[in-house]
């Protein structure tokens, strides 16, 4: 049973923003898979749910002329997976979208909702971080572009200002041949929240990015920088250096899903595996060239 | 706060006034007496309430009734031709995919959604498609077999 | 004569109605002017109720009744009457019903709950076994010594937290240890768990203006609900009617009486309106019976050849806040404490301990899953210590014909060795040494009997319809196990009818005959016998009339697909249809009458146990043995266990329906796997921290291992066609088989369930290199 909220369908993004600005306890509503769970538990008592799914571009995903990909904030995860599957460089987001909840959930749950909840364990967040996604935020009077790395402030808290709405997510075109990987540790083999999530992206120019979920108060870009060797020629030492740097960044907690120790341990395990998979992919693609 | 909505359920037109905070599952079960759709957890975790919304499987406990205005809903009652089981339902019966039956409607709808898109799923694809539907009785194996058989009558040996 | 219906794979009779979405469960029932119930539950594990003020709630328009322990003093209990319907004077666990509201809609009922003011005075909680058993421990039940219970069967220890102490003293355990070459002792733990039927518990009740109460309940045992409600409300059973529609899974969680007491109390207050309570999933986790926790310390004496000589077992059960049902699990564990082995000297003390945690109760296996978690690892450890093969040590010690069990009963018809050999063959235990890195195989055995009172009875009634079909009427609940189909097969077999001519009902205590409970894997055995006898009685009546009509002695006749003819095929025929309403004579007169058959069954000769030694010639109706083996791969970096294959072989006496039997075994394996790897009620200060599927994980289809299932058929003398019960058994050895396979894979032993990756990693780190 939910509280007696009203349901609002705005006619434009501006309309939605002004409504949000004038109704402080209204909430943006897309897939509903998280918000309605929390309403049911009485943890959220919104006055209004503002359904943005019908707004222009809200559930659209398309490649722009410059090669970047624009994803409407309310786009369901399954649609994202379908669109990006097979597109080199975006593997991490495909993999992350694929491991959120169940098939039914992914038909509804949106990427915007996944990050706007600002859960430290959000699966798509580490993927978006390594892909250097930018967020198009629209407000009552203005709009701005924010790197996803600046979006998460604390558990449940984002950089959205009052009246501001996440409209779309832009993924820049990766240089070829970029490879990205998202690996998740969870209790069961399907339909579970992340104990740890690790996203890794390897650019052809020796640049590497690593982002982590569920090991800090917010999803974390733990490393972005140049390695001494190109991806296909990585040594174990290279990997271990990366692991030890990344491990320094984490501050996990113990909760129902895992102990802090286990989370810390799994960061290294998953990162090593991600490196293994990514270098293999790089080699395969290199050979195919 | 109420809204009048119009949608189809199992291809029948429905016009109904709903509360803005009313769930799709409650409209189906309480208002339309389509009690085949079950509630097992209310939190989108068990899949017993799975129905198809414009052909996509969703948890009807996590969809607002107002949202289905203008859309098409398909429930377990819409699988059969009145009393005549469809191929998937018949396979569930024949292969022992049903025990207590409470997860069955949701399980059927998840399987239907899969088969509508992919009429030759692998075992791994079937397992994944139904992994959002919890079953405590069967151990899932008979369900996977039933979905396989419903998909491929030609190679009915599998 | 060759069986024509039993032993064949018939799809379940209730399959189509369930596949159509047309099967009605309690939550699908709708009645005019139905009121809706919400329950106010205790936020404290242990507190005195100083004051309850529900006046504001009662005054809310649309609220028809508010009840609490102030208004309703009724007590419930199957074996020990210790559980109030609403907390009286004090609360004993987080989630205990304190009050309930019936209102015209759920939202109102929820609003009213918030208006009930309860003042508590906190008491020191008893949150674990050590606290409960400490000297001068706070008492969960101060008046335990006054509680009614079945004397000389259960042994509460007055002025303690021990609500039952069951003992086994067989042989001379000290002598056994002194004869042993080695002694090994270890402690194993099982946490509290939830049954997780996918259908939450629900009930509707209505009292009519004559005072008769009808309860529609998604329960396992309509007659037990009726009986326990009759005692609680001081009503004769005949004035209570319990109707059980389809039940969406039970696993023990809907046995005995649960929420029906609350619903009935409210219905009696608001007559003639029906009231309905459907639990939320969170309430199922916190407020309904859970699997009892166990701490088992096992000390085993054995020879250097691997023969088990003596065993001392301390079984300490966390029974939670109320143990009205749980005391019998504790007793069953005592008398089963030798497990599937022949051990000459035994000393077992099994204690049921009150704590301020969720109420313990029966859970598929009735204590055997917990007990065998300990016993089946213990023997595996001993095998490893001796460098013996885990299959060989089990075969060496396995109970066989002539062995005595823990109670001194001499066993007959034991097919355990065949189960072990076949389970081992299916998984390939012989190739155990050629394994891949971090892969391993393990085996575990089990035994279980139906732990029912000696008086647990079944009955069946068959009526023949004008079309020649029959109705089989019983009060066992169809909870998914396929009981209805098997009962129909038995009736069809005996009466020479095709399956489509057999109709079978869900229970209605006004119309269907008595059944003790749908528990204990006893329906095929006990109700099956009753149905067989009812069918034979109806057959006798039909053949008597046919004999007159066909002018041939009854013993010369047979019934095939409803047609009655001489066995030799000579002469005229008649049919069940023609004789359904009696015999029509050529004169135009009639004789006899509509054909009915009745049958009943009580197992023969069950004895009570000696209070001091537990020795008895026959403590339960029969025993069913089985074995399972698992193959796992352990990821030594993540600690995660991947169960690749599980084999399972049970001696079921006779397989009445291979398809449904396979379903039982596969379902049991998966529940066992889930319990092994994932399941635990995580309690903090007595509160369940994971009361939803978000954090109480059960296995999904993604976890499915390859399953290899076999059956052994050693007939049971008094089982229908030789059949034994085995529904619960199928999950009992899965967890220890997995644990043993993990040991084989990576050399670590996890003694506390569940086997989490954290525990595996910690054990790997602690392992001497």
Question: Residue C466: is it exposed, middle or buried by C-beta count within 10 angstroms (0-12/13-18/19+)?
Answer: exposed
Q: Can you give chain A as a three-state secondary structure string?
A: CCCCCEEECCCCHHHHHHHHHHCCCEEEECCCCCHHHHHHCCCCCCCEEEECCCCCCCCCEEECCCCCEEEECCCEHHHHHHHHCCCCCCHHHHHHHHCCCCHHHHHHCEHHHHHHCCCCCCCHHHHHHHCCCEEEEECCCCEEEEEHHHCEEECCEECCCCCCEEEEEEECCCCCCCEEEEEEECCCCCCCCCCEEEEEEECCCCEEEEEEECCCCCCEEEEEEECCCCHHHCCHHHHHHHHHHHHHCCCCCCCCCCCHHHHHHHHHHHHHHHHHHHHHHHHHHHHCC
> How close, in Å, is residue B138 to chain C by CA atoms?
4
Q: What is the CATH number of domain C290-452+607-766?
A: 3.30.365.10
Give the architecture-level CATH label for domain B2-78: Roll (3.10)
Helices (H), C712-756: 734-746
CB neighbourhood size of C370 (10 A): 29
The distance between the two most distant Cα atoms of chain B, rounded to a whole number of Å, is 55
Does the CA dihedral B2-B4-B8-B9 come out positive or negative? positive
Same CATH fold assignment for domains C290-452+607-766 and C455-601: yes
Core vs surface per residue C494-505: b (16+ CB within 10 A) or e: bbbbebebbbbb
Q: How far apart are CA C255 and CA A105, in angstroms?
A: 34
Percent of the residues in chain A that have a pLDDT greater than 70, as a whole number? 99
Q: Where are the alpha helices (DSSP H) in C324-468?
A: 326-335, 368-386, 390-397, 416-427
Contact C701 B46 (CB under 8 A): no
Query: With a CB-CB cutoff of 8 Å, which residues 192-251 of chain A face chain C?
Result: 192-193
For residue C765, give both structure tokens: 């780190």
Element (DSSP H or E) covering residue C300:
strand C293-302
**Residue whose token pair is 């289809």:** C701
A262 in contact with B, Cβ within 8 Å: no
Helix (H/G/I), strand (E/B), else coil: B31: helix
Query: Where do we find the tokens 């691997």?
Result: C306
Q: What order do you get walking across the sheet with B56-59 strand by strand? A: B12-19, B2-9, B72-74, B50-53, B56-59
Is C501 in a helix, a strand, or coil? helix
CB < 8 Å to A4, chain B:
1, 19-21
| Residue C462 to residue C533: CA distance in whole angstroms | 10
* Nearest CB to A262 within list C678, C700, C758: C758
Looking from the CA of A7 toward its CB, the CA atoms found within 13 Å total: 24
Instruction: Please give the distance of CA A127 from its chain centroid, rounded to a whole number.
Output: 5
User: What CATH number has the domain spanning A179-288?
Assistant: 3.30.390.50
Any idea where the domains of chain B sit in the sequence?
Answer: 2-78, 87-150
C589 interface with A at CB cutoff 8 Å: no
Encoded tokens for A249: 């960044």
Q: What is the pLDDT of residue C433?
A: 65
Supply C247's token pair. Answer: 């039940």
State both tokens at A193.
């929240």
Chain B positions in Cβ-Cβ contact with residue C667 (cut-off 8 Å): 99, 136-139
Predicted model pTM: 0.98
Q: Round to whole Å and give the CA distance between C577 and C562.
A: 7
Nearest CA in chain A to B41: A37
Of A7, A40, A104, the CB nearest to B64: A7
Instruction: Extract the tokens encoding C210.
Output: 């004559």
pLDDT band at A176 (very low <50, low <70, confident <90, very high): confident
Q: What residue spans define the domains of chain C? A: 34-125+201-278, 290-452+607-766, 455-601
CB C676 within 8 A of CB A187: no
**Domain parsing of chain A, residue ranges:** 1-52, 179-288
C-alpha–C-alpha distance, residues C680 and C696, integer Å? 7
In this predicted model, what pLDDT tens digit does every residue of C31-83 receive, in sequence order?
999 999 999 999 999 999 999 999 999 999 999 999 999 999 999 999 999 99
Instruction: Say how many CB pairs under 8 Å bridge B and C.
Output: 171
Beta carbons of C397 and C341 less than 8 angstroms apart? yes
* Of A175-179, A236-240, C403-407, the least confident: A175-179
Check the CA dihedral C403-C407-C408-C411 and report its sign: negative
Topology of domain C34-125+201-278, per CATH?
Aldehyde Oxidoreductase; domain 3 (3.90.1170)
Looking at residue A288, what is its pLDDT?
42
pLDDT at C325: 97
Q: In a mutagenesis test of the B interface, which of A104, A106, A188 is the best target, namely the one with the most B β-carbons within 10 Å?
A: A104
Residue with tokens 């957890």: B41
**In the complex, which subunits touch B with 3 or more CB pairs below 8 angstroms?**
A, C
Residues of chain C with pLDDT under 70: 1, 432-434
Q: What are phi and psi of C545, to 5 degrees?
A: -70, -40
In the block, residue with structure tokens 């005229």: C572
Contact indicator for A96, A126 with CB cutoff of 8 Å: yes
* Residues listed for chain A: 289
Q: For the sheet with A48-51, list strands across it.
A: A6-8, A48-51, A26-29
pLDDT-based confidence at B153, cuts 50/70/90?
Answer: low
What residues in B contact C518, CB-CB < 8 Å? none
DSSP codes, C213-250: EEEEE--S-HHHHHHHHHHHHT--GGGEEEE--B-S--
Minimal Cβ distance to C701: which of B34, B79, B131: B131
* Cβ-defined contact of C690 to A269 (cutoff 8 Å): no
Q: Is A258 on the interface with C (CB under 8 A)?
A: yes
- Per CB-CB distance under 8 Å, the chain B contacts of A3 are 21
Question: Residue C22: closest CA among chain B residues belongs to which residue?
Answer: B36
Neighbours of C607 (CB within 10 A): 14
Q: Which is nearest to C740 in space by CA: C277, C299, C109, C188? A: C188
> Are the Cβ atoms of A2 and B23 closer than 8 angstroms?
yes
- For residues A163-176, one letter each, b for 16 or more C-beta atoms within 10 angstroms of the residue's C-beta and e for the rest, the string is bbbbbbbbbeebee
B130:C701 CB<8 A: yes
In chain B, DSSP finds a helix count (H) and a strand count (E) of: 5, 5
pLDDT digits (tens, 9 = 90+) for A50-76: 999 999 999 999 999 999 999 999 999
> Does A174 have pLDDT greater than 80?
yes
The span from the CA of C727 to the CA of C524, in Å, is: 9
Whether A32 sits inside 8 A of B47 (CB atoms) is no
CA-wise closest residue to C619 among C323, C408, C768 = C408
**How many angstroms separate the Cα of C211 from the Cα of each of A57, C208, C223, C253?**
63, 5, 19, 29
Topology given in CATH for the domain delimited by C455-601: Aldehyde Oxidoreductase; domain 4 (3.30.365)
What b-and-e string marks burial along C384-409, b requiring 16 or more CB atoms within 10 Å of the CB?
bebebbbbebbbbbbbeeebbbbbbb
Find, in chain A, the residue whose alpha carbon is nearest to that of C754: A187
Encoding tokens for residue C242? Answer: 């319990």
Q: Do B38 and C25 touch (CB under 8 A)?
A: yes
Please state, in angstroms and rounded to a whole number, the distance separating the CA atoms of residues C73 and C84: 7
Specify the CATH number of the domain B87-150. 1.10.150.120
**HEC string of B37-91?**
CCCCCCCCCCCCCEEEECCEEEEHHHCEHHHHCCCEEECHHHCCECCECCHHHHH
How close are the terminal C-alpha atoms of chain B, in Å? 53
pLDDT per residue as tens digits for the range B31-66 = 999 999 999 999 999 999 999 999 999 999 999 999
Sheet order of strands, C706-712 included? C439-448, C624-634, C641-651, C706-712
Residue pair C599/C534 in contact by the 8 Å Cβ criterion: yes
CB of B141 closer than 8 Å to CB of B122? no
Nearest to C629 by CA among C735, C729, C713, C728: C735
How many Å apart are CA C293 and CA C686, to the nearest integer? 13
Q: What is the pLDDT of residue C239?
A: 98
Alpha-carbon distance of A143 to A160, in angstroms, equals 11
Q: What is the pLDDT of residues A74-129, one digit of tens each?
A: 999 999 999 999 999 999 999 999 999 999 999 999 999 999 999 999 999 999 99
Q: What percent of chain B has pLDDT over 90?
A: 93
Q: What is the CA radius of gyration of chain C?
A: 27
How far apart CA C521 and CA C661 sit, in angstroms, is 12
ipTM over 0.95: yes
Interface probe for C, chosen from B1, B96, B112, B124 (most Cβ of C below 10 Å), is B96
Contact A37 B44 (CB under 8 A): yes
Instruction: Identify the residue whose tokens are 């509280």.
Output: A3
Q: Are C447 and C343 in contact (CB under 8 A)?
A: no
The CATH code belonging to domain A1-52 is 3.30.43.10
Q: Which of A4, A104, A189 sits opposite B47 (nearest CB)?
A: A104
Is C637 within 8 Å of A269 when comparing Cβ atoms?
A: yes
CB B50 within 8 A of CB B110: yes
């Amino acid at each position: 049973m939910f509280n007696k909220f009203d349901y609002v369908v705005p006619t434009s993004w501006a309309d939605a923003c002004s409504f949000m600005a004038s109704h402080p306890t209204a909430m943006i509503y897309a897939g509903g898979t998280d918000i309605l769970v929390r309403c049911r538990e009485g943890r959220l008592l919104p006055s209004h749910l503002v359904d943005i799914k019908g707004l222009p571009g809200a559930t659209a995903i398309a490649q722009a002329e410059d090669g970047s990909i624009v994803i409407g904030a309310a786009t369901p995860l399954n649609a994202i997976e379908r669109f990006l599957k097979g597109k080199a460089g975006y593997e991490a987001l495909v993999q992350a979208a694929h491991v959120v909840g169940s098939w039914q959930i992914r038909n509804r749950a949106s990427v915007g909702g996944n990050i706007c909840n600002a859960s430290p364990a959000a699966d798509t967040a580490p993927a978006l971080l390594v892909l250097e996604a930018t967020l198009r935020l629209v407000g009552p009077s203005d709009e701005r572009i924010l790197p996803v790395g600046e979006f998460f402030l604390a558990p449940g808290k984002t950089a959205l200002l009052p009246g501001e709405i996440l409209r779309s997510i832009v993924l820049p075109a990766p240089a070829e041949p970029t490879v990205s990987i998202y690996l998740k540790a969870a209790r069961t083999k399907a339909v579970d929240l992340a104990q740890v999530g690790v996203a890794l992206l390897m650019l052809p120019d020796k640049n590497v990015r690593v982002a982590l979920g569920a090991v800090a108060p917010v999803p974390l870009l733990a490393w972005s920088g140049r390695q001494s060797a190109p991806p296909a020629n990585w040594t174990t030492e290279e990997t271990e250096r990366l692991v030890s740097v990344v491990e320094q960044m984490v501050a996990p907690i113990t909760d129902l899903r895992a102990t802090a120790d286990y989370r810390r341990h799994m960061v290294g395990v998953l990162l090593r595996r991600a490196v293994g998979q990514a270098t293999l992919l790089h080699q395969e693609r290199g050979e195919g060239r | 706060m109420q809204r009048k909505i119009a949608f189809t359920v199992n291809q029948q037109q429905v016009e109904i006034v709903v509360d803005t905070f009313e769930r799709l599952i409650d409209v189906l079960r309480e208002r339309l007496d389509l009690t085949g759709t079950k509630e097992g957890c209310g939190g989108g975790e068990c899949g017993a309430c799975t129905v198809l919304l414009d052909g996509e499987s969703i948890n009807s406990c996590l969809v607002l009734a107002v949202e289905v205005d203008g859309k098409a809903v398909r429930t377990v009652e819409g699988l059969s031709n009145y009393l005549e089981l469809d191929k998937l339902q018949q396979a569930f019966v024949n292969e022992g995919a049903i025990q207590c039956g409470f997860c069955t409607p949701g399980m059927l709808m998840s399987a239907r959604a899969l088969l509508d898109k992919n009429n030759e799923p692998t075992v791994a694809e079937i397992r994944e498609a139904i992994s959002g539907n919890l079953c405590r009785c069967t151990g899932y194996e008979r369900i996977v077999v039933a979905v396989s058989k419903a998909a491929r009558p030609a190679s009915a040996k599998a | 004569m060759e069986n024509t219906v039993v032993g064949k794979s018939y799809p379940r009779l209730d399959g189509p109605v369930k596949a159509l979405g047309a099967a009605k469960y309690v939550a699908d029932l709708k009645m005019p002017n139905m009121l809706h119930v919400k329950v106010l539950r205790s936020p404290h594990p242990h507190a005195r109720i100083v004051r309850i003020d529900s006046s504001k709630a009662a005054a809310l328009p649309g609220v028809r009744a508010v009840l609490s322990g102030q208004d309703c003093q009724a007590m419930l209990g199957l074996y020990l009457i210790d559980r109030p319907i609403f907390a009286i004077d004090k609360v004993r666990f987080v989630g205990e019903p304190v009050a309930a509201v019936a209102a015209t809609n759920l939202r109102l009922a929820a609003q009213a709950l918030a208006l009930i003011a309860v003042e508590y005075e906190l008491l020191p909680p008893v949150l674990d076994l050590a606290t409960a058993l400490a000297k001068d421990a706070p008492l969960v039940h101060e008046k335990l010594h006054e509680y009614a219970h079945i004397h000389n069967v259960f042994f509460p220890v007055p002025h303690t937290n021990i609500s039952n102490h069951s003992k086994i003293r067989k042989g001379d355990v000290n002598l056994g240890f002194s004869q042993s070459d080695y002694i090994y002792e270890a402690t194993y733990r099982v946490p509290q768990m939830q049954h997780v039927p996918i259908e939450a518990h629900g009930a509707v009740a209505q009292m009519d203006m004559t005072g008769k109460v009808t309860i529609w309940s998604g329960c396992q045992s309509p007659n037990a609900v009726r009986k326990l409600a009759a005692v609680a409300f001081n009503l004769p059973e005949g004035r209570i009617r319990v109707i059980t529609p389809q039940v969406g899974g039970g696993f023990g969680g809907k046995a005995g009486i649960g929420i029906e007491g609350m619903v009935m109390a409210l219905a009696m207050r608001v007559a003639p309106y029906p009231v309905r309570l459907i639990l939320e999933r969170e309430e199922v986790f916190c407020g309904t019976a859970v699997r009892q926790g166990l701490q088992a310390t096992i000390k085993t004496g054995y020879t250097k050849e691997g023969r088990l000589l003596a065993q001392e077992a301390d079984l300490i059960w966390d029974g939670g806040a109320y143990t009205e049902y749980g005391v019998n699990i504790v007793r069953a564990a005592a008398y089963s404490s030798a497990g599937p082995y022949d051990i000459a000297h035994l000393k077992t003390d099994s204690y049921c301990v009150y704590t301020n945690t969720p109420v313990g109760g029966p859970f598929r296996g009735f204590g055997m899953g917990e007990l065998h978690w300990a016993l089946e690892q213990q023997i595996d450890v001993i095998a490893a210590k001796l460098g013996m093969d885990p299959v060989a040590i089990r075969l060496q010690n396995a109970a066989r014909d002539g062995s005595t069990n823990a109670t001194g009963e001499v066993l007959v018809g034991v097919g355990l060795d065949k189960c072990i050999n076949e389970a081992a063959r299916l998984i390939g235990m012989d190739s155990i040494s050629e394994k891949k890195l971090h892969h391993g195989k393990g085996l575990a055995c089990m035994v279980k009997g139906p732990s029912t009172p000696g008086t647990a009875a079944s009955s069946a009634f068959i009526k023949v319809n004008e079309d020649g079909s029959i109705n089989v009427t019983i009060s066992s609940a169809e909870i998914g196990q396929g009981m209805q189909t098997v009962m129909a097969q038995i009736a069809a077999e005996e009466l020479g009818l095709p399956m489509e001519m057999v109709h079978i009902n869900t229970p209605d205590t006004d119309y269907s005959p008595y059944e003790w409970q749908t528990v204990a894997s006893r329906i095929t055995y006990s109700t099956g016998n009753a149905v067989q006898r009812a069918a034979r009685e109806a057959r006798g009546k039909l053949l008597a009339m046919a004999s007159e009509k066909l002018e041939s002695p009854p013993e010369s006749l047979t019934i095939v697909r409803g047609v009655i003819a001489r066995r030799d095929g000579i002469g005229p025929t008649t049919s069940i249809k023609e004789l359904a309403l009696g015999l029509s004579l050529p004169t135009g007169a009639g004789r006899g009458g509509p054909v009915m058959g009745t049958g009943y069954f009580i197992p023969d000769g069950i004895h009570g146990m000696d209070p001091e030694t537990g020795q008895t010639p026959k403590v339960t109706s029969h025993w069913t043995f089985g074995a399972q083996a698992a193959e796992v791969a352990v990821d030594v970096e993540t600690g995660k266990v991947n169960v690749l294959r599980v084999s399972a072989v049970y001696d079921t006496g006779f397989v009445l329906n291979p398809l449904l039997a396979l379903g039982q075994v596969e379902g049991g394996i998966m529940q066992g796997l889930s319990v092994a790897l994932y399941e635990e009620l995580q309690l903090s200060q007595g509160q369940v921290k994971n009361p939803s599927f978000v954090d109480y994980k059960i296995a999904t289809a993604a976890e499915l291992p390859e399953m290899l299932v076999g059956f052994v058929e050693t007939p049971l003398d008094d089982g229908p066609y030789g059949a034994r019960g085995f529904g619960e058994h199928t999950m009992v050895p899965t967890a220890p088989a997995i644990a043993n396979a993990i040991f084989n894979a990576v050399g670590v032993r996890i003694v506390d369930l569940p086997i989490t990756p954290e525990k595996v990693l910690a054990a790997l780190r602690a392992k001497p290199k």
